[in-house]
Amino acid sequence: MATGGIARRSEGQVYRVAVIAALVLVVMTPVGLILYQSFLDAPFFDKTARLSLEAYDYVLTDPDFWTALGSTALFAVGLVAVAVPLGAMLAFLLARTDLVGKRWLEPVALVPMFLSSIVLAFGYTVAIGPSGFVSLWMKETFGFKPWSIYSLGGMILIGGLSHVPNVYLYVSSAMRSLPSDLEEAARAAGANIWRVSLDVTLPMVLPSLIFAAALNLLLGFETFGIPLVLGDPSGIVVLTTYIYKVNGIFGTPTYHVMAVVAVCLILITLPLVYFQRLLLRNSRRYAAVGGKGARATPLRLGPSGQVIAWGLIALWLVVSVALPIGGITVRAFVDSWGEGVRLRDHLTLAHFAHLLDTPSLYRGIVNTLVLSVVGGALAVAIYLAIGLAGHRNKGASGAVLDYMVLLPRALPGIIIGLAFFWVFLFVPFLTPFRPTLVSLFVAYTVVGLSYGLRIIQATLMQVAPELEESSRTTGASRGRTWRDTVIPIIRPGLVGAWSLIMIVFLREYATGVYLMGVGTEVVGTLMVSLLTSGSMDQIAALAFLSILFTALGLGFALRLGARIHD
Contact positions vs other proteins (CB under 8 A): 43, 45-46, 64, 125-126, 129-131, 232-235, 244-245, 247-253, 335-341, 358-360, 421-422, 425-426, 431, 434-435, 513-514, 517-519, 529-536
Q: CB of 344: closest distance to other proteins in angstroms?
A: 14
Shortest CA distance to 162 belongs to which of 154, 173, 151? 154
Q: CB of 139: closest distance to other proteins in angstroms?
A: 12
Beta-ladder partners of 347? 334
What's the first-to-final CA gap in the chain, in angstroms?
41
CB atoms within 10 A of CB 404: 23
Question: How far is 51 from 60, CA to CA, in rounded Å?
Answer: 18
Question: How far is 260 from 364, CA to CA, in rounded Å?
Answer: 32
Question: How far is 228 from 89, CA to CA, in rounded Å?
Answer: 30
Q: CB of 116: closest distance to other proteins in angstroms?
A: 17
CA of residue 557 relative to chain centroid, distance: 18
Q: CB of 531: closest distance to other proteins in angstroms?
A: 7
**In this structure, are residues 153 and 70 in contact, taking their beta carbons and an 8 Å threshold?**
no
123 or 376: whose CB is closer to other proteins? 123
221 or 244: whose CB is closer to other proteins? 244
Q: CB of 136: closest distance to other proteins in angstroms?
A: 9
Q: CB of 204: closest distance to other proteins in angstroms?
A: 47
415 or 500: whose CB is closer to other proteins? 415
146 or 534: whose CB is closer to other proteins? 534
In the three-class reduction of DSSP (H, G, I as helix; E, B as strand; rest coil), residue 548 is classed as: helix
CA of residue 537 relative to chain centroid, distance: 27
Q: CB of 418: closest distance to other proteins in angstroms?
A: 9
User: Residue 73: enclosing H or E segment and its boundaries?
Assistant: helix 63-96
129 or 448: whose CB is closer to other proteins? 129
Q: CB of 462: closest distance to other proteins in angstroms?
A: 45
106 or 508: whose CB is closer to other proteins? 508
DSSP secondary structure, 306-347, as one string = HHHHHHHHHHHHIIIIIHHHHHHHHHHTBS--STT--GGGGB
334 or 458: whose CB is closer to other proteins? 334
334 or 467: whose CB is closer to other proteins? 334
**Long-range contacts at 555-561 (CB < 8 A, ≥ 24 apart):** 555/107, 557/495, 557/498, 557/499, 557/502, 558/106, 558/107, 558/499, 560/495, 561/492, 561/495, 561/496, 561/499
In the three-class reduction of DSSP (H, G, I as helix; E, B as strand; rest coil), residue 348 is classed as: coil
